[in-house]
Structure 1
Amino acid sequence: MSQKIFEKKDVRKLYLDDQGNVDYTKIQARWEEFKKNKVSLANKHFTQQVVEKAKTLSQEDQQRLLDIMIEGLTYNDSSVGIAATRPEDYDLFLFYLEPLIREYHKIEGQTKQEHDWNIPVGEYVLTNIDPKLEKVSMRARVARNVVGYSLPSSMDKDERIKFENQMVEVFEKFGFPGKYHSLTPGHKNFISDQEADVLRNKHFLFINMTHDNCLMSNGVASDWPYGRGIWISEDETKMVWVGEEDHLRIISIVQGNDLGKVDQSLNELLTGIEKSGLKFAEHPTYGIITTCPTNMGTGKRQSILGKFPNITKGGKDEANLKDIAKSLGLQARGIGGEHSNMDSEGTADISPSARFGVTEAIVTKRLYEGLIKLYEIERNETNEKKRQNCCNTF
């Protein structure tokens, strides 16, 4: 049975006193209740020291702190439970967020996120792993938020529309032929639900976020569908999501076998947007600022759609592939990404798990090296299956 979905504006009232101020007794009671089943990072790091520090802040800032952890207070199925409200949160509330970020990203000692887009074409070629990987769906994307705006979790309707309109201006002049498709009613580029579903079926457009418990409670899905949309290049290899979990998800999709070409396409798109005059939010230590701290660092995710029928036993054992992938520093998701299932051929979205402490170039390298090992395991499973069949027919 699915959980009831609560909106942020309703949930936050549960943690205020009669004067409308943040009530830490109610917050701590909720965290204690959740500890009986599962402890998120938001829960674990909300210590008494954090409470005492929070009480010294202005009431406005205390309200922001409540908004940051409202997702974790609402549902106990999140391992993190945090959604930043503004880029400045990672400075103002670092007394709470820093130990959480460091634990999630396994950070020890002094650190500083570095960037490197020097990714060679012709080196990370998938047919060198398996000749059958001639035409593979390869995807790379980066999350970006723009300085001067609240993050999507705390934007109001007007700010969402204002940001979308600014992006339309960028798309009209940034140098790549394509078209923007808006979900905002009344927008000049508005598309119907039916047209939107066509893009979703092609795995281009993100889903209706109001069906997601976490995105509703933390405010990311508020005011749906205003301020949301997708720009798609004419050749359908470059895309930009507007108004999802971050202001922008900048995406490159290439059908082929050279991971370097995906990065080349993505970097071209990212550079074109930056040259339009937008300034992306970045933390001096933790790198790219994202709504969810799990994506900080490079903000980059790179993946391929691969088939693993033997490891998954015809798609019936997704957990086996996920466990093996995790041991290799990879993530295995369903054919449509997070929260989706694999098909009967064991088709999965495979990507490196690390975001922070690695450069963009290392993300690509780790994907390639992880795929070498993963496909070796798949081939061994194939050989073992053939051997068993041979023995059974002897």
Structure 2
Amino acid sequence: MTLAWVLVLCVSLLPRDPMSRFILKRSSPKDEFPNLDRNRTLMGRILDLHMYTRQFNRATESGVLFDDIIRPGLEDPGQSIGPKAVGCLAGDAQSYILFCDFFDRIIESYHGYKVTSDAVQESDFNYDNLKGGDDFDQEYALSCEVTACRSIEDYCFPTHCSRGERKQLLTLAKTALEQLAEDLPGKLYSIDELSHESEDRRVVMDSPPSSLIKIGVARDWPDARALWLSMDGTLAVWVNMEDHLKLVSYRSDACLQEAFKTICINVLKMETVYKKLRHPFIWKPHLGWVVSSPAEVGTGLKASVTVKLLHLAENKRMDDILDRLRLDMEETSCPGIYKISNLQTIGLNEVGLTQLVVDGVKLLIRMEKRLENNSGIDDLVPAQK
């Protein structure tokens, strides 16, 4: 066999470039490059013409283009103050591989974590390893919440999934939640049912949240979206919202330890059920649990405590303190009340990230008490981590 025939054979064995299936009336990358002058997202800061050109003619097997990836950040360009937004969402799991030079930069910038091919994201759902979280000063710690997001293998993410995929995902969720209810009784409500107030539910939703509209996941609303609520009020599971699944444990007593325990137990149960259904949660060794937003890859976990910080929040060192503690602070609708949570979700396991919140909130409360008594806090400020 000649070398020419070998080359022809090799080319014929290569998978077909997904872009060859499309006839897109697009100009050059330079002409198509978006205006990012007033974009306040990480995407707007990182993306330049050179990077855009490299991604321009790529598409995943399900047809996700790079323009699909950055569209959420173009529709919602972010704000100069407040929580920083990543400004991009993956359309499917392959997006993180095909557009890795972009997503890896976003992850590194947002989480302060360097993505490498030989890194392995660890998990730890042993809630007994968490120290504290059940002993916050109730005068300052008002409530808490732990959430965990998961995506399902073989399905596109909410920004890109079809109506049929969304319905199939809801069918899978119904099966999984029925098995979950054997140990934790609960009820599944469609979004239509949530549009009317009732005594047996605690959530009312008349229309899609503006945040879902901006990022492009409210298509065909309210088709195949649902909320499962446990009878005892300890767990909620959103289906087909920002992610395929989002588990939420909220407590009005600020007992973060119990909220974390609830999430750990039920995430593992759901994972087992989905594996039996042959649609496991998406896991990549170097990224951990893969979900639509690069702001939540790794563990997909957010632990937050709502805290009263009337004095500390106004302190000139507050931003530096939060940075050293690796925590995020978000304003609530009540003056002086803030939600403190872990900013990064990758690089540490679930226990480690929740421990950051526990230790950080305790320290912030100590600082608040000092300031109430007109004392200094410089000796309490931690060293840079």
Is TM more than 0.5 here?
yes
Q: 1:126 to 1:323 in 2, by over 3 A?
A: farther
Q: Which residue of 2 aligns with 1:360?
A: 350
Q: Which residue of 2 aligns with 1:123?
A: 131
1:64 CA drift (Å): 2.1
May I ask how many residue pairs the two structures share in their alignment? 339
55-64 vs 93-102, greater mean Cα deviation = 55-64
Q: Which residue of 2 aligns with 1:173?
A: 179
1:368 CA drift (Å): 1.4
Q: 1:55 to 1:83 in 2, by over 3 A?
A: closer
Superposed CA deviations along residues 208-254 of structure 1, whole A, max 9, x for unmatched, are 43523xx3354212111112221111100011111111111112223
Superposed CA deviations along residues 331-386 of structure 1, whole A, max 9, x for unmatched, are 2224xxxxxx3314x2322212121111111112111111122101211221129x
Q: Which residue of 1 aligns with 2:333?
A: 342
Q: Which residue of 2 aligns with 1:87?
A: 93
Checking the alignment, whether the CA contact within 8 Å between 1:67 and 1:218 is kept in structure 2 is no
Select which of 11, 30, 49 maps to 1:25. Answer: 30
Select which of 259, 265, 269 maps to 2:266. Answer: 269
Q: Which residue of 2 aligns with 1:211?
A: 210
Q: What is the DSSP-based 3-state SS (H/G/I as helix, E as strand, rest coil) of the residue aligned with 2:373? A: helix
1:26 CA drift (Å): 3.5
Checking the alignment, whether the CA contact within 8 Å between 1:119 and 1:361 is kept in structure 2 is yes
**RMSD after superposition:** 3.2
Q: Which residue of 2 aligns with 1:155?
A: 161
Q: 1:109 to 1:121 in 2, by over 3 A?
A: closer
* Structure 2 spans left out of the alignment, 5+ residues: 1-22, 80-84, 376-385
Give aligned-pair identity as a percent.
Answer: 23
Q: Which residue of 2 aligns with 1:9?
A: none
Whether 1:228 and 2:197 are equivalent positions in the alignment is: no
> CA separation in 2, counterparts of 1:59 and 1:362?
34
Checking the alignment, whether the CA contact within 8 Å between 1:250 and 1:266 is kept in structure 2 is yes
Superposed CA deviations along residues 238-274 of structure 1, whole A, max 9, x for unmatched, are 1111111111111222344643322221111111211
Superposed CA deviations along residues 54-76 of structure 1, whole A, max 9, x for unmatched, are 35536977752211111223343
> CA separation in 1, counterparts of 2:60 and 2:235?
43
Whether 1:192 and 2:183 are equivalent positions in the alignment is: no
Q: 1:47 to 1:60 in 2, by over 3 A?
A: farther
Checking the alignment, whether the CA contact within 8 Å between 2:126 and 2:351 is kept in structure 1 is yes
Q: What is the DSSP-based 3-state SS (H/G/I as helix, E as strand, rest coil) of the residue aligned with 2:329? A: strand
What one-letter code is carried by the residue in structure 2 that aligns with 1:34?
A: L
Checking the alignment, whether the CA contact within 8 Å between 1:121 and 1:260 is kept in structure 2 is no
Checking the alignment, whether the CA contact within 8 Å between 2:64 and 2:160 is kept in structure 1 is no
Q: What is the DSSP-based 3-state SS (H/G/I as helix, E as strand, rest coil) of the residue aligned with 2:202? A: helix
Q: 1:40 to 1:137 in 2, by over 3 A?
A: closer
Whether 1:241 and 2:231 are equivalent positions in the alignment is: no
Superposed CA deviations along residues 304-323 of structure 1, whole A, max 9, x for unmatched, are 222223335xxxx6999677
Whether 1:65 and 2:66 are equivalent positions in the alignment is: yes
Checking the alignment, whether the CA contact within 8 Å between 2:341 and 2:357 is kept in structure 1 is yes
What one-letter code is carried by the residue in structure 2 that aligns with 1:124?
A: G
53-62 vs 290-299, greater mean Cα deviation = 53-62
143-152 vs 108-117, greater mean Cα deviation = 108-117
Q: 1:384 to 1:220 in 2, by over 3 A?
A: same
> CA separation in 2, counterparts of 1:235 and 1:280?
26
> CA separation in 2, counterparts of 1:197 and 1:281?
33
Q: 1:207 to 1:348 in 2, by over 3 A?
A: farther
> CA separation in 2, counterparts of 1:77 and 1:191?
29
> CA separation in 1, counterparts of 2:300 and 2:218?
20
> CA separation in 2, counterparts of 1:100 and 1:191?
35
Q: 1:305 to 1:270 in 2, by over 3 A?
A: same
Q: What is the DSSP-based 3-state SS (H/G/I as helix, E as strand, rest coil) of the residue aligned with 2:229? A: strand
What one-letter code is carried by the residue in structure 1 that aligns with 2:208?
A: M
> CA separation in 2, counterparts of 1:123 and 1:59?
43
Checking the alignment, whether the CA contact within 8 Å between 1:70 and 1:217 is kept in structure 2 is no
107-116 vs 146-155, greater mean Cα deviation = 107-116
Q: Which residue of 1 aligns with 2:105?
A: 99
Superposed CA deviations along residues 81-115 of structure 1, whole A, max 9, x for unmatched, are 11110111111221332222222222247433111
Q: 1:144 to 1:131 in 2, by over 3 A?
A: closer
* Structure 1 spans left out of the alignment, 5+ residues: 1-18, 185-189, 335-340, 386-394
